[in-house]
Amino acid sequence: MAFGWIDEQATARRRAGLVRTLRPRPADSPLLDLAGNDYLGLARHPEVTEAAAAAARTWGGGSTGSRLVTGTTDLHTELERELAAFCGFEAALVFSSGYAANLAAVTALAPHGSLIVSDAGNHASLIDGCRLARGTTQVVPHADADAVRKALGAHDGPAVVVSDTVFSVDGDAAPLAELARACREHGAGLVVDDAHGLGVLGDGGRGAPYAAGLAGAADVVATVTLSKSLGSQGGAVLGPARVVDHLVNTARTFIFDTGLAPAAAGAALAALRLLRREPHRAARVREAAAGLHARLTAAGLEAVRPDAAVVSVRAPSPEAAVGWAAACRAAGVAVGCFRPPSVPDGVSRLRLTARADLTREQLDRAVRVIVGVRP
């Protein structure tokens, strides 16, 4: 029977407690949200939603084609210019998603004969970029700059090091300064995914590369998503102008994909301008994350100290994690639930995301629920 193996895999997933299901949410959900990635609380901000609506009224519901045909509007170029300037890079290129941006950056900058050194904790989009690239990939232990240095030293030829700036599972930060030093010792490029750093780290939320003094460097490329701190959708690659020009001409997820919808571009641009006007939002989300961690660990839970907005709380098993998350939801608090194969170390977790707009009362309530229904 065609696709008969699907049933076998479904049975194996059920036995392992790893079945995933879609859960549509209403527009007016009563749940306290600690599961989404709206770090700065901008997804529903009136300026952001009105900008999205205005862009749709002006440019239409879709971009109508690839960026190289009809999919580039004035909004796209304006967003690219302001995003690059805000983050401290020479140029930017907007994609339909952060996933597409990562695929573009890795595949276009790792040609045949090159070495890609990839952190073991990298996001799936970076991993897929490594798999699609024509270069050879070597995976090194998580956040280990010495292992990166060793891998680069054993290779003769072009090389690029690929890493998240803040890892999505545990919320820990990469040693960016050390990685940059290792790259420069061997003439390698550094590509970092700042999806969880933009809007949270750096001066006024300018991102982890900016905080590490790497923004604008000729050998550093950063990718970002517009769907987290900026409350919209899409992604971008930031770097030297010649790198961006190279991507325009070679990156398949840019050339052959429909451009980002104008409404998303307009929303992201409005959110970026709002963040520039209200830089305290970045500090506020870090304070909220630190507060969550302090209260949860004080209650005896095992949680990783957050370097940005993500707070990871370990669970005894996949089944316990699912049950814990369900109990939290039943008590009015939505939390993320990470299980294998989404976690590289096989340890199941609750994944909590702090937001800049969370009140003390909301944080207290979240902690009471999470601690009260723990397995």
How far from 331 is each of 114, 193, 334, 366, 367, CA to CA, in Å? Answer: 51, 34, 9, 9, 12
Position 291 in a domain: yes
Position 21 in a domain: no
Its domain, for residue 261, covers 46-277
Query: Helix, strand or coil for residue 158?
Result: coil
Domain count, the chain: 2
Residues 38, 68 within the same domain: no
Q: What is the pLDDT of residues 178-221, one digit of tens each?
A: 999 999 999 999 999 999 999 999 999 999 999 999 999 999 99
CA distance 316 to 243: 45
Position 203 in a domain: yes
**DSSP-derived secondary structure letter, 261:** P
Does residue 42 contact residue 48 with C-beta atoms inside 8 Å? yes
The whole-number pLDDT of residue 252 equals 97
How far from 307 is each of 15, 139, 225, 287, 346, CA to CA, in Å? Answer: 35, 23, 18, 11, 21
Q: What is the pLDDT of residues 27-50, one digit of tens each?
A: 989 999 999 999 999 999 999 999
Residues 218, 228 within the same domain: yes
What residues have CB less than 8 Å from 268, skipping those under 6 apart? 79, 83, 226, 230, 231, 232, 233, 234
Position 322 in a domain: yes
Residues 190, 322 within the same domain: no
Residues 292, 316 within the same domain: yes
Position 23 in a domain: no
% of the chain surpassing 70 pLDDT? 99
Boundary of a domain, candidates 245, 277, 309: 277
Residues 288, 315 within the same domain: yes
Q: CA nearest 94: which of 108, 110, 109, 83?
A: 83
Boundary of a domain, candidates 259, 277, 295: 277
CA distance 358 to 361: 8
CA distance 191 to 177: 13
Assign 346 a pLDDT band (cuts: 50, 70, 90): confident
What residues have CB less than 8 Å from 309, skipping those under 6 apart? 39, 171, 196, 200, 285, 286, 288, 289, 353, 354, 355
Residues 121, 242 within the same domain: yes
Residues 174, 207 within the same domain: yes
Mean per-residue pLDDT over the chain, rounded:
96
**How would you class 329 by CB atoms within 10 Å of its CB: exposed for 0-12, middle for 13-18, buried for 19 or more?**
middle
Residues 257, 289 within the same domain: no
- CATH assignment of the domain containing 328: 3.90.1150.10
Position 2 in a domain: no
Residues 199, 307 within the same domain: no
The whole-number pLDDT of residue 53 equals 98
> With 90 as the cut, is the pLDDT of residue 369 above it?
yes
The whole-number pLDDT of residue 57 equals 98
Residues 123, 179 within the same domain: yes
Boundary of a domain, candidates 277, 310, 342: 277
% of the chain surpassing 90 pLDDT? 90
The whole-number pLDDT of residue 19 equals 83
Position 14 in a domain: no
Position 56 in a domain: yes
Q: Which residue in the block uniquely carries the two structure tokens 């604008």? A: 216
Residues 66, 208 within the same domain: yes
Residues 284, 147 within the same domain: no
